[in-house]
Amino acid sequence: MNTRTYAPTPTRRVAFLGLGVMGYPMAGHLARAGHSVTVYNRTTSKSIAWCTEYTGATSQNATLNPAATPRQAAAGAELVFCCVGNDDDLRSVVLGADGAFAGMAPGAVLVDHTTASANVARELYATAQAQGLHFVDAPVSGGQAGAQNGALTVMCGGDLAAFEAAQPVAMAFAKAFTYLGESGAGQLAKMVNQICIAGLVQGLAEAIAFGDKAGLDMNLVLDVIGKGAAQSWQMDNRGKTMVAGKFDFGFAVDWMRKDLGLVLDEAKRNGARLPATALIDQFYADVQQMGGRRWDTSSLIKRLK
């Protein structure tokens, strides 16, 4: 049962493109907040199922509709939200005759929650500007649980006015929706986020593996050190599941490798030195070779067992 409460905002006509693990509940929060939502997914049956699930959850005057193309979904929408897999997926739903830009009215805003490259964000921003539209790159952190609970952290780049138009509506699925600067800044901030996570998870994996070898009760140790300077979200939420050898908690190794690839490509361009991140990326490649492509990112510890 959903227990999220929503701050009062004027109801809007919005669209949501991509009903995957993240997009499905994110769009659901928009419906529950009272907005009229048109959804698009490559598998049309999923769009229809989403509308069926959320019809009873929205306000009486709101409408929920499936669309056959991104263009149809975006037609008449003040805000178009998007959450797909990668740069190519993003271009496929935004550009072209059936893309969202082709259906958007002048002045409408597309807010992209895909974790993608800063380059594609800047590319789509420029295309939007040329067509009298607005584009905000807005990748998210918080994983599947954050999407389901309406508690995502969103990092945004683009024009401030477009950000301000989207923020009140996006708070239906976010606990923070923050402006960080010009186009591409959101994607760059997400890269910083993933660098931090990779290092934290590898450190936690090594610590647990070391403690196991030393004969310690690692659940008890985690309780103790979690009250001190070693505490982190990863320790609080993944430490004991790592001890138990459970790795089915959302964000998959395949997706982390995609994100770290974006990080390392950007580092080549800007000259940043990321020796630990590059090494941990290879550790995740090892996990993939072990059959762990869909395990969550805490499965780094499997290499050490």
Q: What is the largest CA-CA distance in the chain?
A: 65
DSSP per-residue codes, 35-74: -EEEEE-SSHHHHHHHHHHHGGGS-TT--EEE-SSHHHHH
Q: Which of 190, 246, 268, 305 is catalytic?
A: 190
Helix (H, G, I), strand (E, B) or coil at 242: helix
Contact at 8 Å (CB) between 86 and 258?
A: yes
Residue type, 15: A
Sequence-ordered list of residues with C-beta below 8 angstroms from that of 279, at least 6 positions apart, any chain: none
**Is residue 190 flagged as an active site residue?**
yes
Q: 253: which 2 tokens?
A: 């190794």
Task: Give the C-alpha separation, 232 to 137, whole Å.
Answer: 27
Contact at 8 Å (CB) between 97 and 70?
A: no
Residues with catalytic annotation? 190
